Amino acid sequence: MITATLLVTCTDRTGIVANLTNFVSEYHGNILDLDQHSDEEANRFFMRLVWSMDKFSLSREEVPAALKILAKKFDDFRFDLSFSDQRQRVAILCSQTPHCLYDLLLRQQMGELEGDIVLVCANHPDLREVTEHFGLPFVHIPAARDRRAAAEAKQKRLLQKYRIDLVVLARYMQILSPAFCAARPHRIINIHHSFLPAFVGAKPYHQAKARGVKIIGATAHYVTADLDQGPIIEQDVARVSHRDTVDDMVRKGRDLERQVLSRAVRAHLQRRVLVEGNRTIVFH
């Protein structure tokens, strides 16, 4: 069964849900999942709507045009439409640590992701074997300081060649240029190894140890030009005690990082994430 998923946000008013569900049912679409939320403080409407295309009488090319007409009834209406057989193509950027890479590739193999990781690209050669074990192409692009711009140009060509929809930074450890980030709004997901906004920047586990916190965390967020400040998609935490050295925190952190990153990527690929300003709405 092919399904359509529609993410919508607009200024809140009467009749939006009725209009949209009516639209689906008039053309014989069966609604499978609807999650709607009105933010009364901000007067904004948010919705995720999934319907079956089985008996739907509009072709998938006709749907956007119809939605655009419908949109005129509402203010500041934005939508994102996708079909379940249009799987997003994902590239992973990584460096040397394998835990997030293994986690994503294993989930792909187990069929947990509704998208396709098609490329792994790294600034070190170490993870070639892991990537090839999972049957994927690995490209090594060194990114030393003095050739960062050239490296990024290569990456761009590669992403284009592989028609990449989503870039996942699986502990990439390199800062991307503002232009690179700006060209892919809400299309780059990073894992930060702290519970943001605590411990922004480098060596967060050392910072956590020094501050004596009792809980550490990890944060998956969309990358913007503003380091560690992009919209948060998912977070999780683990308890630590005085017995945990920085190395123990790093170890516990690895477990958090891979889980949090994979959950964020999965939510994105399931089209469950809607960005509004610097925040996300993540539908269940």
Report 118-137 residues binding its own copies (CB under 8 A).
Answer: 129, 133
Among 138, 172, 195, 205, binds its own copies (CB under 8 A): 195
Smallest CA-to-CA distance from 195 within 152, 248, 237, 132 is with: 237
28-67 binders of its own copies (CB under 8 A):
28-41, 46, 55
Among 61, 145, 202, 243, binds its own copies (CB under 8 A): 243
* 244 annotated active-site: no
Q: Is there a cis peptide before residue 64, judged by omega within 30 degrees of 0? A: no
DSSP annotation string for 37-90: EEETTTTEEEEEEEEE-TT--S-TTHHHHHHHHHHTTSSS-EEEEEETTSPEEE
135-194 binders of its own copies (CB under 8 A):
none
Show the tokens assigned to 202: 């480098």
Q: Which of 39, 80, 116, 228 is catalytic?
A: 228
Smallest CA-to-CA distance from 30 within 55, 2, 7 is with: 55
CA angle 261, 262, 264 (to 5 degrees): 65
84 lies in the site for its own copies, by CB under 8 A: no
Among 131, 259, 261, 269, binds its own copies (CB under 8 A): 259
| 228: DSSP letter | T
Nearer to its own copies, 145 or 242 (CB): 242
Q: How far is the CB of 267 from its own copies (least distance, A)?
A: 11
Nearer to its own copies, 34 or 151 (CB): 34
Q: How far is the CB of 137 from its own copies (least distance, A)?
A: 17
Size of site (CB under 8 A) for its own copies: 71
β-strand pairing of 188-192 with 88-94? unpaired
Among 22, 43, 57, 177, binds its own copies (CB under 8 A): 22
Among 9, 108, 155, 235, binds its own copies (CB under 8 A): 235
